[in-house]
A and B are shown apart, each in its own frame.
Chain A
């Protein structure tokens, strides 16, 4: 039987990443889940946090500006000249 760890709201907010990373000890994990299940503000906080992570994952990388890319190709050509 896993003993659930009692957690306050101010503790919950510090533990969300640990929870999401799956790196919590079982007792603490149970305490976290029990708290969030019955505490509406913590449920909202948890959801906000998760949506924040989701938003980050949706950000697309821009391509390199052509002048930056060209400058890098020049770096490459200089290097190639040296090795040949």
Chain B
């Protein structure tokens, strides 16, 4: 928090250099998160600008009860949700064409819970990724498939997995940011990861054909 307060001091003094530092540190993730809410690059850029206007105006009120980063992203989230609502571009929570996010794996992949011999056991093959070529999972295409799959998720799920897994935020920080319980955070994260996994299974499957 002390690195934060030194930076804050300089920001409040109007140091453009300090501003450059925070923008380079948080700007890319802010743009990415804003894009998850509105799915439109230029709108997302406006949201990020809007957020900075509010951050700068609020600098004097910032008391350091959360980290500077969390505070900036709370403001960003508010701007993004407001804007998404106005533009009505948020992805509908339940798209009828999408398989439900409720189950990590399509229930058809298991024997029913009432099965006499294998209740709830896998009825389908689960590929062994350890046999994939080494560079396969680390490839630019796999990364692109990962990003494309995130873009398909409802905003809340997309934001949680982006912050936790790509940006490496802690669970606590994400809970504070989104004002959700630890349990809720874990469920959103798990379902997002499960969905990305399914997308990667499809992607690797299509590569093998």
Contacts and interface: CB of A to CB of B under 8 A. Distances in A.
Q: Do most interface residues of chain B lie in helix, strand or loop, or is the interface mixed?
A: helix
Contact of A23 (B142, B186, B197): B186
Of the listed residues A47, A72, A75, the one surrounded by the most CB atoms of chain B closer than 10 A to its CB is A72
Given A68-B48, A84-B14, A8 B126 contact: no
Nearest to B32: A61
Of the listed residues B14, B110, B122, B137, the one surrounded by the most CB atoms of chain A closer than 10 A to its CB is B122
Interface residues of A, number: 43
Contact of B166 (A23, A61, A63): A61
A13 B194 CA distance: 8
Contacts of A64: 23-24, 27-28, 31
Interface of B: 14, 16, 19-20, 23-24, 27-29, 31-32, 45, 48-49, 52-53, 56-57, 103-105, 107, 110, 113, 119-122, 125-130, 137-138, 142-143, 146-147, 161, 165-168, 171, 182, 186, 189-190, 193-194, 196-197, 200-201
Given A14-B104, A72-B52, A79-B53, A52 B31 contact: no
A17 interface: yes
Q: Do most interface residues of chain A lie in helix, strand or loop, or is the interface mixed?
A: helix
Contacts of B104: 13-14, 16
B112 to A, nearest CB: 9
A72 B48 CA distance: 8
B166 A57 contact: yes
B113 A73 contact: no
A49 B194 contact: yes
Contact of B193 (A52, A63, A68, A84): A52
A10 interface: yes
A80 B194 CA distance: 46
Contacts of A16: 104, 190, 193-194
22 contacts: A8-B120, A9-B110, A9-B120, A9-B121, A13-B105, A44-B128, A48-B201, A51-B129, A51-B137, A53-B165, A55-B142, A56-B165, A57-B166, A57-B168, A59-B146, A59-B147, A64-B24, A72-B27, A72-B49, A72-B52, A73-B23, A79-B57
